[in-house]
Structure formats: C-alpha cells, structure tokens
A and B are shown apart, each in its own frame.
Chain A
Amino acid sequence: MSETLSATARPSAAPPPTPPGASSRSLAIARLRDLALVPAIIAVAIVGSIVNPVFLSADNIINVLQSMSEIAIVVLAQTIVLITGKMDLSLESTFGLAPGIAAWLIVDPALTRGLGLDLLPDAWAVPIVLLVGALVGAFNGLLIVRFGLNGFIVTLGMLIVLRGLLTGISGGQTFFALPESMTYLGSATWFGVPASIWLSLLLFAVGVVVLGYTRAGRALYAIGGNADAARAAGIRTGRVLWIALIVAGMLAALAGLLMSGRLAAVPAAQGNGAIFQVFAAAVIGGVSLNGGKGSVFGAFTGVLLLFMIINVLTLAGVPAQWTNFLNGTVILVALVVSRITGGKAQT
C-alpha cells in the first residue's frame, strides 16, 4: 500500500476549469440547430423561382404544403417516437390500414361491387380511424414496453402484418364511394386553404408546445437521452413510451384519413414505402436516430425542404419515370446539405 498522503501534501485547489470557448460554441449550435435548414430552404426557393416563376406563386405554395401535409403528420409521429430513442416502422401501414378499416366497416357493398360490410353508420368514420391508430400503437407498446422486444423488429413485423391485413380485407382492391365523413377533412377548404394544411400546421404547433414546454414532452427527451437517468428522476418511462407509441399511431391514422379524403379512395397500397421518406425528413430535420435529440420545428423544416426540392424538380419537367431515382437522390443531397449547415454528424 502507498504511504499515507496527508491532505496538506496536495496544494490548495484552483477553481474548477471551464473549457474555454467549447461551452459557448456548443450553446450557439444548440440554439441554431432548429434553424439549420432555413438557409437551405431559402436557397431552394431561389433556385425554384429561377427554374420556373410559378414556384413562388400562392397556388404552387399551397400545392406543396398540401402534398406534404399528410406525410408531414407522419413525420411528426415518427419524431415523437425517435426522440424517445425508439423507432416505429409500422406507421406507414397504419397510414393505410386505419382509413381502410373505417371504409371496410362503413362502405355499402351494393355500391362497390361487394367491397365493404356496411356495419356502421357514416358518423363513426373518424373515431374508428383514430381508434385503429391507437390500437396499433398500444399493441406496439405491449410488445416493446411490456415484453421488452426490440422496437425495430417489432414494428417491422407490424408493418408487414398491417399491410397484409389491409390487403386481406380489401382483397387487394381499392375502397371507394367513401362517405363524406371520411372525405371531408382531406378535401375541405377553410379560408381558401385546404383543411389538411391547417390541420398539419396546427398539429405541428401543438407538437412544438408539448415537446418544448410540458413535462410529458421533456420526459420524451429524457428517456431518449438516458432512460436510466429518466427513471431515476421519477419519470414512468414505460408509460411515457407507451403513450408516445399510441399518439404516433393516432397521428399516422389521421394522416391516412387526410390522404384518403383527398383521393376519395383507400388503395390497398396506401402509404406503401412512405416510411423511408418519413425517416429521411426527420433525420434531415435534425432528429437523432439514437434518441434524445431533435425538435418538432426541425422535423417540419426537414419535410418542407424535401417536398420543395421534389416540387422544383417537377416544375423543371423531370419525367415521372425518374421520380424514384430523384427522390432517393434528393434525400441523400438533403442529408449532405443539412450535415454541412448543421455542422454535426448525424447519429
């Protein structure tokens, strides 16, 4: 053993070191991270207006906002889940299944060559859609939170199961002749702007407030940042996760309803493949796949940037066969752009 080292042998203490510059710089980055995509959005707007003057017209802006409104709500849902450090792939299937089930239960088979059951009155449409979303989220929660299964694999399985369920009940066909209760939200216009735009903006505003200014919202960040520490701080991590998954399911279901309303139909493939765009938008918007980091506003700028670029390409007359190739390219380019403007590795 070493000799006794008396207290006096150690020279008196200096003040605790503060890393010079490091703290103030990261502080500035933390504040600016929310706005990191704004320069990119402005740049795309300028390029867009050069490519085609129509780009900045009110009609086109409304067109962009409407085309993104449904996916944007799913991005909001995914953001909530990602911040807790989990991920929910099944959202894209919920997006199709929830309005699909509502249509299945409500639509009169006499009008649709045998599709549908005509079990419930029209007025049940919205409650059913939300209920299906909540049930899917609750079941995900059961497997992930209660049984401790891996969230990625659980929701991947759910993605396939729910997609199969929709294909099963619809026979692979498209539900049409939807009642007005299902089409209203997706097709109505309030104050000259489609209701789906109002709804998505409202939901994002609510999301900003809830995630930024309520204990429940901050609990999401705490869980994603360090679940053990969150538990030690008295947060009921299981319950919060469960609620986050249920809310995400309901948001995806609502988004699906808006989409069905806009198209006045529920195709069996509604939402198929959309999850990749959703993830891309969230990550571009600065939401960390490892949890604990990201903001609702950032996610909104991410999805906005993505859809603006797609719109510019459409206006530039890019042929439709190239859309998928360009979608993928846009995601990669947007990631690079946000990496440069955000300045931080996207973990």
Chain B
Amino acid sequence: MSAASQGSTDGLADVDQPVVEAVNITKRFGSTLALSEAGIVVRRGETHALVGRNGAGKSTLVSILTGLQGADAGTVTFDGHPAPPLADRDAWRKRVACVYQKSTIIGTLTVAENLFLNRHARGPAGLIRWPRLRREAEQLLAEWSVDVDVRQPASTLTVEQRQFVEIARALSFGARFIILDEPTAQLDGAGINRLFNRIRDLRAQGVTFLFISHHLQEIYEICDQVTVFRDARHIVTAPVAQLSRPALVAAMTGEDVIMPEADRRSLPADAPVLLSVRDLVTPSGAELTLQARAGEVVGIAGGGGSGKVEAAEAIVGLTRPAGGTVTVDGRVLRPGSVPDALDAGVGLVPQDRHREGLVPLLSIAENVTMTVPGRIGRRGLISPARRDALARDTIADLTIKAAGPHVPVSDLSGGNQQKVVMGRALASNPKLLVLITPTAGVDVRSKQTLLGVVEEVRRRGTTVLVVSDELDDLRICDRVLVMFQGRVVREMAHGWSDNDLVAAMEGVDLHHV
C-alpha cells in the first residue's frame, strides 16, 4: 500500500466529515439552468450512486466536483475543507479523480507515459529517465493488480483495461474518492463483473466511489447509497436497500415507466421466412445460422468475445464474411456490401453511434435521410421540403426532443441521438431491422421509446434482430440465440429467466453443472 501512504493524507484524520459535500449548487449555461440548488453528500468508504435521466445535471455536477468548472453559487467541501481554487489542478487531483466515458488516455503514447504524464521520472539534467518511469509504472499497476504491459501504446488497450489504468492513475495521485461516469456502458457482462470486483476490493481499502450509471440493476448490485437528480434538481438521497426499483424509476422520471416486453402472441403459422442466414462465418471465425419469419423479433445474446456483433455486421454488409450466405426476402445479399443490403431492405442501428451511426455536425433531417436519398429526391436533386417532412415524422414518432429537423445532432443528448440513429434505420421502411446494442448509454425513458418502436415495426411485419447483452433489450424478443466463443450454444424461447440467460452468455449451463 505504498501509494496510499505516499499520497496526500491531510484532512483524512477527520473520519466523520463527508469525503465530499456539495451544497446549494447552481450552474447555468446561457439560458439553460443545468443545476438548481442541487447538492450531494458522499461519506467515506461508501459507494454512492448518482442517477438521473440524460440532462438531469449529472455531468455538470461531476465537472463541478472535479474542479473543471466553477459553480455559479453554492459550496463544495472535501473532508470539511473548502475546495481548492480551480487553477490548482494538482490540489484537485489529490482529492478527487474521475474516469470519464470519454477517455483521458492518450492513445499514441505508451501506457507507462500515460500514467506519469507531465510528472515523468527525471534525472539530474531534467531529462526523463525512461527505464525508471517504466519500472514505476509497472509497480503502480502491480500494486493495484492491473495486468497490462506498460510499454504498449495505450490505443491497444481494451475499454476495460483502459478504465483500470485510469483508476490506477487516479489513485497514484493520492485521491481516495473516484467518480466513475458510466463505466459499464461499453463493457460486456464479464468485464462489468471484473470492474465490480475491483470496486469492492478498492472499497475495502478505503476508496470512496461515486458511481454513475443508467443500469439500475448495477446500482442495486454495487452501491450503498443512491442520489437521484431530475431536471437540474436534487430529488432524493437514500440507502439503496430502502429504495425499491419502481420508486427509484419514479424518482428519476417523475412517473412510472414500464419496459415493453414481448407480448404473448404466436406468429401466424403462414408468416413467411424473411431472413435466412446460412453457415455465415465472420472473419474472426464466429459462425451463425438462423431463420427468422416476418414479424418475428430474434435476439442474439452473448458476451464480449462471443462474435455476436461481428455476425450482425456481416449480415448487414459492414464486414465481409469469410463464408456463408444471407438471404433477405428471397434475395441473396452481396457479401460485404452495405448498399446492396440497404437496397434489399435492411435497416441498421450500428454498435457505436458516434463512429458509425451519426454525422454529428449535420442536422437531424440530413442524418435521418442519409440512407434514403431516393425517397427525398426529385429528378436527381434532394428536395429539402420532403426531407424535412420525413424528419418531422421521425421526430414525432420517436419523441425526439429537438426544436426541429434542422438541429445538429451534436446538440442532442445521448438518448435522442440514438433515436435519430433508429429513425435513420427506419427511414427506408426496412424488411429486416438489425439493432446492435440499441440502448447502450441511453436513459430509461429513451430506452422505453426505442424498445417500444421495435414492437411497432414488428406488427408491420418487419423482422427484427436484436444483438445485445442487455436483458431489457432481449426481453422484447420472441426467442434469443445465445452465442459463446463464436458459436450459438443455446436458443431460449420468450420467458427465460435472467439467471439462465446470463449464465448461458458466460458459457455456464446452470442445469448441467
């Protein structure tokens, strides 16, 4: 525990003081009120959840708690002492660290250099001593049991490794209060498990966490206290055990939200087979064969290395499969061709909306109609009127919160951006809709809308593939194919139990162990 002792211990003597206390914080951005007399108290050694819908003021609170922005009014104290001035970054870093969704790791530098950026080990002439720096980095990672080669460029790290490296770096500054901003959004089930084990270990060593997540089950799993923000205000703080799930959701949304589920219907016996995937082999070796009928919602579940995303990307032509055929409504798709897939009536919500889903500076209208120039064109020219009309329909159908079709999508919250991606997938009235992790990083309400849309398009006879490891996503499916290490290991009809499905995704069969 040398890092613990070498870190700042001033003020830690007073154990009764909360690690951080923010009182009556108000912050405006222009005309927008981001926080209105909100506050939070985090006590030593607890893992405190901060929840709220997108735009509730969580991010603003985080940037005020980490000293990136000053509050317009209100006070922040650490261990009973007033927060340091904003300019004194070192003082802030000794008190609090944040692992953001957006990485603060520099991909072009090595892991070792990232850990000691701007505080490199130096020799007498002020020159950096690389061997010592690498040794220190190895020691630091070993101390917090992070198994990563410090000489590799940080761009080669997985999301999970990157988070561990960022946590280790934060701890090495002496901070014992760490904010995790949606750390699980990009992790698979096994990765989340390892992260939680890490959090429990660190908590046992006296580290306090503020945990931000959209996944409520994670809060019940890992957190002691929960604070709910809504519309820039503090709503409630309570021990997790005393706040039931419906009560928590009600506090977040101001009303009750019920997630859609597949209803107990049976497909008409004569529903034609719309999608037929035969012996598909992805470049990484995952194999998939499946048939889906019109109006059927099929889930493909699996953990990080299961190959579910690769298989889905091969179906829609984003990657060129190593073998096999995909047939949509009797038409065999050209392998690796997105235009051909679009032409055949495939709609896609890709895995990473920032990378593949959206052009952030363009308007909602342009994004939504990107895949369907034919529908908005007139004699080869794009008709702005038709385009905007189509976009207005999408905004209304998906309840996108925006002033109009001309708002750039970069101005929207995460949930609304994802609705735009969904709108783009639906713009072509697809026969097959492929959704890859459609609700990653969106709030409860947007999730409800997005999943509700699936039910609607299903009724119109569209086949839907839901590729996800999120149980809420899979609950809307008529059946779920579970992939593990590149193979479909189980098929579960609607009505599966959570434990069975999770176990199957992890490659464990609860009934045959």
**Residue ranges of A at the interface with B (Cβ–Cβ < 8 Å):** 1-7, 9-19, 22-24, 26-27, 30, 209, 212-215, 218-219, 221-222, 224-226, 228-230, 232-235, 288, 292-293
Contacts and interface: CB of A to CB of B under 8 A. Distances in A.
Given A10-B502, A11-B503, A11-B506, A230 B106 contact: yes
Nearest to B89: A234
12 contacts: A1-B246, A3-B217, A4-B217, A7-B196, A12-B193, A13-B197, A27-B152, A225-B108, A226-B103, A232-B89, A234-B89, A292-B107
Contacts of A14: 190, 194
Given A19-B158, A27-B152, A222-B109, A5 B217 contact: yes
Nearest to A234: B89
A68 B245 CA distance: 72
Contacts of B224: none
Given A1-B249, A16-B161, 8 more contacts: A4-B245, A5-B498, A16-B191, A30-B153, A209-B127, A214-B128, A233-B117, A234-B119
B221 A7 contact: yes
A53 to B, nearest CB: 43
Given A4-B245, A26-B153, A229 B106 contact: yes
Nearest to A221: B109
A222 B117 contact: yes
B108 A215 contact: no
B135 interface: no
B340 interface: no
Contact of B220 (A4, A18, A229): A4
B142 interface: no
B20 interface: no
A316 B216 CA distance: 74
Contact of A2 (B119, B148, B471, B508): B471
A7 B240 CA distance: 15
B47 to A, nearest CB: 13
Contacts of A10: 189-190, 192-193, 502, 506
Interface of B: 89-90, 93, 102-110, 113, 117-120, 122, 126-128, 130, 147-149, 151-153, 156, 158, 160-161, 164, 189-194, 196-197, 216-217, 220-222, 245-246, 249, 257-259, 304-305, 444, 471-472, 475, 498-499, 502-503, 506, 508
Nearest to B249: A1
Contacts of B503: 9, 11
A136 to B, nearest CB: 28
B149 A23 contact: yes
A186 to B, nearest CB: 31
B190 A13 contact: yes
A17 B258 CA distance: 36
A80 to B, nearest CB: 16
Contacts of A2: 216-217, 259, 471-472, 475, 498
Contacts of A26: 152-153, 156
A4, A11, A22, A30 interface centre (most CB from chain B within 10 Å): A11
A209 B89 CA distance: 28
Nearest to B66: A232
Contact of B127 (A12, A213, A221, A230): A213
Contact of A214 (B109, B126, B499): B126
A342 to B, nearest CB: 15
Given A9-B499, A13-B197, A226-B104, A214 B153 contact: no
Contacts of A15: 147
Nearest to A229: B104
A325 B64 CA distance: 58
B108 A221 contact: yes
B156 A23 contact: yes
Contacts of A5: 217, 220-221, 471, 498, 502
A232 B193 CA distance: 28
Nearest to A83: B108
Contacts of A218: 109, 113, 117-118, 120, 128
Nearest to B222: A7
A3 B261 CA distance: 13
Given A11-B506, A234-B90, A214 B127 contact: yes
Contacts of B90: 234
Contacts of A221: 106, 108-109
Contacts of B119: 215, 234
A235 B147 contact: no
A229 B152 CA distance: 18
B460 to A, nearest CB: 27
A261 B257 CA distance: 79
A344 to B, nearest CB: 12
Contacts of B109: 218, 221-222, 225, 292
A285 B109 CA distance: 18
Nearest to A219: B118
Nearest to B248: A1
Contacts of B122: 215
A15 B161 CA distance: 11
A236 to B, nearest CB: 10
Contacts of B257: 1
A235 B118 contact: yes
A226 B89 contact: no
B93, B127, B249, B257 interface centre (most CB from chain A within 10 Å): B127
Contacts of B117: 218, 222, 229-230, 233, 235
Contacts of B259: 1-2
A225 B128 contact: no
Nearest to B192: A10
A145 B499 CA distance: 55
A16 B107 contact: no
Given A1-B246, A234-B89, A27 B149 contact: yes
Nearest to B500: A9
B128 A215 contact: yes
A279 B217 CA distance: 54
Contact of B245 (A1, A9, A16, A213): A1
B107 A226 contact: yes
Nearest to A212: B128
Contacts of A219: 118
A45 B470 CA distance: 60
B338 to A, nearest CB: 21
Contacts of A30: 110, 153
B498 A213 contact: no
A6 B502 CA distance: 11
A7 B502 CA distance: 11
Contacts of B113: 218
Contacts of B105: 226, 229
Contacts of B508: 11
